Structure 1
Amino acid sequence: MRPVRQPAYGQAAMARSIGMKPKLGALIEEELVAGWGRAAEKHVSLSLLVIEIDRATEYFTAYDKPETDDGVLTVMRAITDALPRVGDSCLRLGRGGFVVVLPDLPVLMARSLAIKITDAVRRQNLAHKESHAGIVTVSLGLAVTNPRGSYDRKFFEAGAEALKKAQRKGIGYLQAVDLRPALERKRAKHKVAKAA
């Protein structure tokens, strides 16, 4: 079992696009910048999973703090244990959210991982009486890009927005956004403009 890394509550908060504080924790920002740099250097894709416990507010209201703390830690361990590589890690984001930065993980493998995470969390069978599933489930936003240059914060925002869309569908959903086609069109347009 891999160790679980948790930024302090005061440091980690959801981005404004998820409706909470706009500042990311230092540890998450560091992980995003490092992952972006590794992917840019190798000219490979970068995948990002933004994950949140479904009906998190209701979950934290329905149960006492020790029980919800244990539940969140169990979810985080399930996510961490599902990760494919030793260097991959799951970081806390706010009270019921998580971030996984995955450099050099192709989009199809990232989608498969998201499904594996969803199943792993369900298998924990944690009670959630405010969810129609009756157990704790997670929704996920997946963003994929081909990094160039310095880290772009819009990448995280895209993953957070994808999570919001997944949550609007119900519980246990995945919503993916592939930023690569738009970036390639932009780069091609820039090359044409330069050549003219």
Structure 2
Amino acid sequence: MSPESSSKRHSAARPIEEELQRAWMLAAERNVSLCVVALEIDCFGEYLAAYGRDAAEDCLETLERIVVSLLKREEDCCLRLGQSGFLLVLPDMPMLMGRDLANKINQAVRREGLVNKESHAGAVTLGAGLAVVNPEPPFDKDVLDTAKIALRKAQRRGLGRLEIADMRVSEKREVAA
């Protein structure tokens, strides 16, 4: 992987909204779907209290390495989201491929075997919320909020869960009305 592609794949310096706008316009131009996946360590508050800030940061760095290693396309991007998670911006990715990627990430995290004695799983797990949209200009940041809401729903359902929010459904209804 070239340094240029590495910077595209994970860039803490690039603002989330700027990256979302770039991907939104790219997907709109190509007339394809955009998947946005919010990932967060389950039980992060408890992990932080048990292991401390340095260990939590080490864990996040390991998770970022795992996530970035699974991003195979140049357009895909992984950004830090808050203190305990990541945001994947995946232009030109169908919903089923986005779902499969989120599942592969969770499997890879489990294989890594990062210990979390505060979780009943005994290991670090990631909750995931996937929002999929067929973008049209202008940019609508609701896709980010929708991914975060889906993440919260997934985490309420348990550890290592994925919740999908298909924003294309409401678009179809509007066209039909």
TM-score normalised over the length of structure 2: 0.91
Q: Which residue of 1 aligns with 2:43?
A: 55
**After TM superposition, where is structure 1 displaced by more than 2 Å over at least 4 residues in a row?**
1-8
- Asked whether 1:70 is paired with 2:58, we answer yes
Q: Which residue of 1 aligns with 2:143?
A: 155
Gaps in structure 1 of 5+ consecutive residues:
9-25, 190-196
The DSSP-based 3-state class of the residue aligned with 2:131 is strand
Cα distance, 1:7 vs structure 2: 2.7
CA deviation map 1:123-180 (0-9, x unaligned) = 1111111001111110100000100111111111111110010000010000001111
Cα distance, 1:53 vs structure 2: 0.3
RMSD between superposed Cα atoms in Å? 1.5
Which residue identity is paired with 2:162? Answer: L
User: Which of 11, 15, 40 in structure 2 is aligned with 1:27?
Assistant: 15
Q: Output the CA distance in 2 between the equivalents of 1:35 and 1:174.
A: 22
CA deviation map 1:94-128 (0-9, x unaligned) = 11111001110011111110100101111111111
Q: Is the 8 A contact 2:75 2:90 kept in 1?
A: no
- Asked whether 1:7 is paired with 2:6, we answer no
Q: Which residue of 2 aligns with 1:145?
A: 133
CA deviation map 1:83-103 (0-9, x unaligned) = 131332211011111100111
Gaps in structure 2 of 5+ consecutive residues:
none
Q: Is the 8 A contact 2:17 2:141 kept in 1?
A: no
Cα distance, 1:5 vs structure 2: 3.1
The DSSP-based 3-state class of the residue aligned with 2:73 is coil
- Asked whether 1:120 is paired with 2:89, we answer no
The DSSP-based 3-state class of the residue aligned with 1:150 is coil
* Percent identity (aligned): 46
User: Which of 91, 94, 99 in structure 2 is aligned with 1:106?
Assistant: 94
Which residue identity is paired with 2:12? Answer: P
Q: Is the 8 A contact 2:10 2:68 kept in 1?
A: no
Larger radius of gyration: 1
Number of aligned residues: 172
The DSSP-based 3-state class of the residue aligned with 2:136 is coil
User: Which of 154, 167, 172 in structure 2 is aligned with 1:179?
Assistant: 167
Cα distance, 1:6 vs structure 2: 4.7
Which residue identity is paired with 2:101? Answer: L
